[in-house]
A and B are shown apart, each in its own frame.
Chain A
Amino acid sequence: MASKQITPTRMELTKTKRKLVTARRGHKLLKDKRDELMRQFLDLVKENMALRQKVEAGILSANKNFVIAKAGMDEATLNTALMTPKQEVSLEVGQKNVMSVNIPVFETKTRTADANDIYSYGFAFTSSDLDGAVKSLADILPDMLKLAETEKACQLMAAEIEKTRRRVNALEHVTIPEAQATIKYITMKLDENERSSQIRLMKVKDMMLEEAHHYSERE
């Protein structure tokens, strides 16, 4: 039985029935949404993991290269070489709607036309290791951006799935059973009222007939 006080009237019954229909429909829709989101999420998260492993390995080896490069020349030269970056990356953020979750779409633009135009120094005073290090870092940049996109999408979708799952569960285990219990309670109460008024009428009819014909006296 529902915890709150319900007045067992026909109006309340119609209202509750309508509520139950809406709840069932909402439940079905949300369940579908959850299933589809989950399917897409699982694909995306696998991609995310693969990208992450790739990027982490890439950054690790790039860092190693930088350490080697740093070892080969003095700090001042290195700092001077990297002081004024030549390239500039800007980002266009679009949005994609996946099952009503807005996920970002990143598009990068480099300032110079050639994306490989990354060496911000003359080659005279720096070691060649530095070129390799910068190149190895530049190679993983596209993957890093892809990682940012998928990882953010995964986070957003995970949050949305959690919310949707809560809603589905609330409808399934609270709202729908509650409405069903209310409907049962009202129907029973109404039936009971009807039976009792029927009996009352029969009794009254008996009494009126008795009054008119005096059956009991004739026996």
Chain B
Amino acid sequence: MYRIAVLGDYDSIYGFATLGLDTFPVSTREEAAEKLGRLASGKYGVIYVTEKWAAELKHEIGRYQEQITPAIIQIPGIAGNTGAGVAGVKKSVEIAVGSDIVFSQQ
């Protein structure tokens, strides 16, 4: 039985707690990296990470890219959308096809 985690700065994620997701507010890079590692090896099947922290933890997230769980998904934080999530989708097209032919016009 897995659970769902949300990782990010407190202001961006506190709302998710009401839905029954586990929120993990972080404020430093080391703390975030350590927490992500602990969540990923623990009982969490999906980890939502705010785009800002996902950019910081790129290396750590890349490690879980080819595993089925956890699915680490970027979500926009309170500061707004940086476009990193969409860029991630485009990147997977680029890996598969060789160049982004699907969304390049948009």
Contacts and interface: CB of A to CB of B under 8 A. Distances in A.
Given A102-B68, A156-B66, A56 B18 contact: no
A178 B34 CA distance: 49
Nearest to A109: B1
Binding site of A, secondary structure by majority: helix, strand, loop or mixed? helix
Q: Which 9 A-B pairs have the closest CB atoms?
A: A87-B20, A152-B71, A89-B20, A158-B92, A158-B96, A91-B2, A161-B96, A158-B95, A88-B20
Given A49-B86, A59-B76, A148-B71, A159 B45 contact: no
B46 interface: yes
Given A45-B96, A60-B76, A161-B96, 14 more contacts: A52-B89, A59-B75, A82-B14, A89-B3, A89-B20, A90-B1, A91-B1, A104-B45, A144-B48, A148-B48, A149-B71, A151-B71, A156-B66, A159-B65
A151 B89 contact: yes
Interface of B: 1-4, 12, 14-21, 45-46, 48, 65-66, 68-69, 71, 73, 75-78, 80-81, 85-86, 88-89, 92-93, 95-98, 102-103
Given A45-B102, A56-B75, A90-B2, A106 B93 contact: no
B73 A147 contact: yes
Contacts of A180: none
A137 B15 CA distance: 7
Given A55-B75, A111-B20, A119-B18, A104 B69 contact: yes
Contacts of A63: 12, 15, 76-78
Which of B4, B12, B65, B92 is packed against the most chain A CB atoms within 10 Å? B92
B20 A93 contact: no
A106 B2 CA distance: 10
A25 B65 CA distance: 31
B21 to A, nearest CB: 6
Nearest to A159: B66
A154 B92 contact: yes
Contacts of B17: 82, 85
